Structure 1
Amino acid sequence: MQDAVDVALRYLDLSFTFTAPAAVLDGDRLVITLEPAALPDDVRPFLVERDLAAIHTVIGELVNGLVPVLSVDLTHPAPADTSEHEHVFGLRPRFAAARDQSVVDASVLARALPLASPEATALCERQCEDLAARRRRKPGTAQEVRRLLEGSARFEETMPVVARALGLSPRTLRRRLTEAGTSYQAMLDEVRAERAVVLLGTMSVEQAAGQLGFAEAASFIHAFRRWYGTTPSSYARSVLRP
């Protein structure tokens, strides 16, 4: 589990977190802290809870068991009903706390991952490194387009819509992306391909197709084969769920 945490933190910029998580070993405790300073106040509580719940869920799925949570602190006030919090974390969080954090028993780091695969790990790390390198090569407008696409729910935004969001004309946006060595369609495919791998870990091919904005599963399967050289089902069986 320790290796999985190290990889996750190394490629945190490729995730869908809105906060900045950090993990620190404090004796026999693992302290997971979230830094949400840049989040708007009206959505901050939701996004902090979302990210912290996601971290706990992923850890639980990796070790195939309950996460030994010792405490959960949240800086926002307590809601009227905390039953969902208790269901997710296994205890009632402390609200109006000094920081947003979760403390778990550090013994979880020593647990073996039941579905660990050295081959899948090596493949995923290579993909992460490639994606990180590609992001570093896309400054300026291209990076802004990527940011907007990554925040898209179902990729329904057309290039004119994205151009308007950036205060540009479609023609100017097209020219700037060409100067950066890419295009709107190429960036859309890139972000879709990245999210497809994430979605296939938790849902069916048909569900993933809908989330990615494809009208039908056949179109998604065709695109996925173009991106990865195999079908979504084969990829999920061999890499995500070996």
Structure 2
Amino acid sequence: MPAHGSGSTELLRVLATAAATDGIEVEDVRRLMAVPGDLLEKRGARVPIAVIRRAWSGLTDGAAGPLLSLRAARKLPPGSLDILDYLAQTSTTGAEAFEQLTRYLPLLADAGRVWTEADRKTFRFRHAAPGGLPSLAELLLGLIVERSRTMFGPAFAPRLIQFAHAPSAAASAYEEVLGAPVRFGGDHDELVFDREIVRAPIASRDPALRSILVAQAEATLSRMDLRGTVLRDDELVPAFRHALALALDAGDPSLVRVGESFGMSARTLQRRLAAVGVSHRELLQELRLERARQALGSAQLKEVSLDLGYSSQSAFHRAFKRWTGLTPGAATLADGASPSSAGRRGHPRPGAGGPAQPCPGQRAPRPS
């Protein structure tokens, strides 16, 4: 899954369920995903693709072994993919089910491309996401293999499965889980079926219900800007804060860098932030202050200064005092000190007032 684009919180919910079914303790799932506390409860909200990459990387790092995606795909019940599952189940034939998938997969994530091709003998489902996470490609193809078995029976198992990435385990381990020959290093991910799958009937077909679901999916798709600017105003600031934190971790919290994760220009993102009454400068200073308070008790002042992007300890010292009215040392000793209490002493909250310029001494962003 590339760095650009957006995904639905429904995909985050799928990832959380997948990790839980693979044996990761429920209380560890949120910690490993590193997403804001209420994000999993927001149905159908859009988030930068970087959030989904970060979440899935955390889950795979916490898994007991490789192939978390494929193991989870075998266990995720029908309905886990929300409307995509129901569109497939209510379709009349295999061809119609794959048509629904390729048309509406962007409702889950729009950072890759999917398409189908057919000849006289084969039907091929293909997926391309240059720079994407291999584990997410494995989850997608694994889910389609399992859904195909359920809807069409074992006679329509894929002839061949191909991944664009290198394997993380022996090919035989993939084949044992997927029940088909597996190859690696192709130009794209691919499932190769017998052509007869396009005419295979689906027992759960329901044309009337499918038409209702298609209308709902089309309405949602029409509201989407597939470059990732679909966030509503009330969703923008929480998503921006999270993307900003990731960018700060990478050493470049600039508006240009954060804008890339939303698939929009820095100017467009700045305009949208201004429309809801905040600024990149203000939110970055608040994030730095929050991290500084968390780190001061357990790290040297020089380390904190460098981690937050300042060229020197004295530059950070001046910025911190301007934000809070206290020196870093005094703040460490003051239990319960907060930006709001500093404001009551007559000092502005981070980013309030003054020209929109970098803090004195702040160094240029480190390359990621």
So what's the TM-score if we normalise by structure 1? 0.54
What pairs up with 1:53-72 in 2 under 5 angstroms? 53-63=142-152, 65=154, 67-72=156-161
Q: Against the structure 1 CA distance between its residues 161 and 10, is the aligned structure 2 distance closer, same or farther, given a 3 Å change threshold?
A: closer
Q: Distance in 1 between matches of 2:114 and 2:204?
A: 25
Q: What is the count of residue pairs matched by the alignment?
A: 159
Which of the residues 146, 153, 174 maps onto 2:276?
A: 174
Give the match's secondary structure for 1:76: coil
- Structure 1: state its 5+ residue gaps: 147-156, 177-242
Question: Aligned letter for 2:214?
Answer: E
Instruction: State how 1:32-181 maps to structure 2 within 5 Å.
Output: 32-37=125-130, 39-40=131-132, 43=133, 45-63=134-152, 65=154, 67-82=156-171, 84-136=173-225, 142-143=229-230, 145=231, 160-164=237-241, 165=243, 172=274, 174=276
Correspondence for 1:25: 118
Higher Cα radius of gyration: 2
**Structure 2: runs of 5+ lacking an equivalent:** 1-93, 245-254, 256-268, 279-368
User: What is the CA distance between 1:6 and its match in structure 2?
Assistant: 1.9
Contact 1:74 1:94 survives alignment (8 Å): yes
Distance 2:189 2:174 in 1: 14
Q: In 2, distance between residues paired with 1:25 and 1:119?
A: 28
Deviation at 1:31, TM superposition (A): 1.4
SS of 1:94's equivalent in the other structure is strand
Provide the residue aligned with 2:81 in structure 1.
none
Aligned counterparts of 1:75 and 1:9: Cα–Cα separation in 2: 19
- Give me the CA root mean square deviation: 3.3
**8 Å CA contact retained: 2:145, 2:157:** no
2-structure distance, mates of 1:60, 1:17? 26
CA–CA distance in 1 between the matches of 2:105 and 2:228?
22
Partners in 1 of 2:162 and 2:113 — Cα distance? Answer: 16
For 1:91 and 1:140, the matched residues in 2 are separated by 35
Task: Please tell me whether the aligned partners of residues 112 and 127 of structure 2 are also in contact (alpha carbons under 8 angstroms).
Answer: yes
Deviation at 1:158, TM superposition (A): 7.5
CA distance in 2, matches of 1:86, 1:10: 28
In 2: Cα distance, 1:6 partner to 1:22 partner: 9
Distance in 2 (alpha carbons) for counterparts of 1:48 and 1:16: 12
Question: Is the Cα–Cα contact under 8 Å of residues 18 and 47 in structure 1 kept in the other structure?
Answer: no
Structure 1 ranges of 4+ moved more than 6 A: 168-171
Post-superposition offset of 1:159: 6.1
CA distance in 2, matches of 1:141, 1:20: 15
Q: CA deviation at 1:160?
A: 4.4
Provide the TM-score with structure 2 as the length reference. 0.37
**Residue 162 and residue 118 in structure 1: after superposition, are their counterparts in 2 closer, same or farther (change >3 A)?**
same
> Retained in 1: the 8 A contact 2:162–2:189?
yes
